Amino acid sequence: MKRKLFSIISVLLSSLYLTAQTSQEAFELSTSNIFGSARYTSMGGAFGSLGGDLSSISDNPAGAAVFLFPEVGVSFEVNFNNSISNGDTSNSPVKGSYSDLNQFGLVFSLNNSDDGPFKKINFGFNIQKIQDFKNNINTVSSRNIGLDQFFLNNAQGIFLDDIMTRDNETIDDLYDFLGTNYGYSAQQAFLGFNAYIIDPVSNESKNNSYFSTASYDQVNHDFYLDKSGDHRKYSFTLSTQYKDNLYLGLNLNSHQLNKHEITDLTESNYLSDSNIDFIRFNNDVLTYGRGFSAQIGMIAKVKNNLRIGLSYQSPTKLNLTEESMQFLISDNLFEGSLVTDVVDPQVINTSKYKLTIPSKTSISASLIIKSKGLISFEYSSKNYSNINFTANKNSYLRNLNQELSSNYKPASIYKLGAELNQNQLSFRAGYYSEESSMKNADNSHSGITFGVGYDFNNGSILGVSLISSNINLNNSLSSSGINDYFDTNTKRTSITASYNFKL
């Protein structure tokens, strides 16, 4: 008999053929932070009007024209994370550390021997990490809504006949069939039914109504999140110096994104008459892809000691692939005894989608104090409500775009940096801050930065920086089935070492 599936919920939400993209995921993929060379990071990234640093090219391509000689540089970082979730039953910080090669770049300079207005043309290439997804979060809490409601909501309207295995059909076969032909909601209904968390109102094949077998007043949730991966930008730069006071530049950027997220939610504390005694729900999601953006920028010398900068980065167009796996475990009553049911389809769900990251506009100014040092400031604006999934005829993605537009807003980014030169030594400090982009929650981040550099007077420079940052996140349990939120604060300490040398 040909399988049939009709889900009122699925029709309304149009979630067929998709895994569970969320607004939170879209936001995380759209963010950036302070990474790069030791000099750049130690001054809070305030290089929009300075240039002359390989990492500055990623912010303002005109900065490549400031270089007088060809140069190569590489940066290595070590990070220490300490994350704690607020408002939990148990607040235990989760610590972690890791290292990474976060930047490599080079610039070639071609001087114009003619007497024309363009003094030189510089070509640059820079690879730079712009976001690091690595983090571990644990939250323990009590809630009045359980995982049974997630599976129940997905199952209502789905025919019982479609989520029951046939002769010679395995769990893997049916789970894969449902995902390929009917989508995410059908798969979740299948998991909940086979773990005995939900039961049909009747055993007729055309039954499409279900009820929960769990009974509780408050359930205890222990949620663990393990994230890894990063977003890197490959900038190909063309820049020029016009006369003595103007630098112009263009970046063509290739983006590479990789994010791996594992969520594990356990649920307990059911009433004595409950058929369910324990649930564990695990989701493993890998998101990867590439994208493109472009940047234009200028730096002008207003006076000998004053510079201003202006840059614009276009929206970033990402083509992403999402691969996911799930398993569900339940302890439930069977003929008066507790039994454990494991529903673990060894199937990788794959979906492809397009995401647009909003543009960013920056304006900056710097004061050069002869050879003694400098002070620099940069202001940027990015409208996160313009995050956009390419929806075409998909109403689920259109609704998700509306959710992004309603819940997010423009955010201002401030960067301040200073440098003091003492012979071959340079002492640096800075501060950066990005406002919250959520209308009703706090996802702001900020940091203070310090650093030192040493010029060997042979064309090579060694630099070290320290960043102490404070990152606020509004996290959702929705990827694990509960439409609830909790706040997390991550304190990250980053140490970067850079080595640059002129060719």
At 179 the pLDDT is: 92
Dihedral sign (CA 194, 199, 203, 209): negative
Q: What is the pTM of this model?
A: 0.91
The answer to whether 253 and 233 are in contact (CB under 8 A) is yes
CB atoms within 10 A of CB 92: 11
Q: Quick one: CA dihedral 302, 117, 71, 296, positive or negative?
A: positive
Q: What CATH number has the domain spanning 8-502?
A: 2.40.160.60
The CA distance from 139 to 417, in Å, is 36
Whole-angstrom distance, CA of residue 112 vs CA of residue 65: 13
- Measured between alpha carbons, how far is residue 441 from residues 85, 143, 380 in Å? 14, 20, 21
Residue 41 in 3-state DSSP?
helix
pLDDT per residue as tens, the chain (503 positions): 445 443 333 333 333 334 567 888 999 999 999 999 999 999 999 999 999 999 999 999 999 999 999 999 999 999 999 998 875 566 667 888 888 899 999 999 988 767 789 999 999 999 999 999 999 998 888 889 999 999 999 999 999 999 999 999 999 999 999 999 988 999 999 999 999 999 999 999 999 999 999 999 999 999 999 999 999 999 999 999 999 999 999 999 999 999 999 999 999 999 999 999 999 999 999 999 999 999 999 999 998 899 999 999 999 999 999 999 999 999 999 888 899 999 999 999 999 999 999 999 999 999 999 889 999 999 999 999 999 999 888 888 899 999 999 999 999 999 999 999 999 999 999 999 999 999 999 999 999 999 999 999 999 999 999 999 999 988 877 665 666 778 889 999 999 999 999 98
Using DSSP's 3-state secondary structure scheme, residue 111 falls into strand
Predicted local distance difference test score (pLDDT) of residue 111:
84
Measured in degrees and rounded to the nearest 5, phi and psi for residue 25 equal: -60, -45
DSSP structure class, residue 358: P
Q: Could you give the 3-state DSSP secondary structure of residue 345?
A: coil
The DSSP code for 34 is -
Q: Distance from first CA to last CA of the chain, Å, rounded?
A: 73
Three-state secondary structure string covering 392-404: CCCHHHHHHHHHH
CA separation for the pair 297, 253 (Å, rounded):
14
From CA 105, how far away is CA 500, in angstroms rounded? Answer: 9
d(CA 319, CA 312): 22
Strand blocks (E) in 133-209:
135-143, 198-200
Are residues 289 and 321 in contact, defined by beta-carbon separation less than 8 angstroms?
A: yes
* Measured distance CA(291)–CA(8) in Å, rounded: 36
Instruction: Report helix, strand or coil for 37.
Output: coil
Beta bridge partner(s), residue 459: none
Instruction: Could you list the beta-strand ranges (E) of 144-245.
Output: 198-200, 210-212, 219-242
Domain regions of the chain by residue span: 8-502
- Name residue 2's amino acid: K
Nearest one of 34, 58, 43 to 311, comparing CA atoms: 58
Q: Quick one: tokens of 185?
A: 């909601």
Q: Is 445 in contact with 489 (CB distance < 8 Å)?
A: no
- Which DSSP symbol is given to 359? P
Picking from 175, 90, 102, the residue whose alpha carbon sits closest to that of residue 134 is 102
| Cβ 459 vs Cβ 49: under 8 Å | no
Interhelix angle 147-155/184-194, rounded to 10 degrees, is: 120
Q: What are phi and psi of 298, to 5 degrees?
A: -145, 150
**Chain CA centroid to CA 487, Å:** 16
Half-sphere exposure of 423 (CA within 13 A, CB side): 1
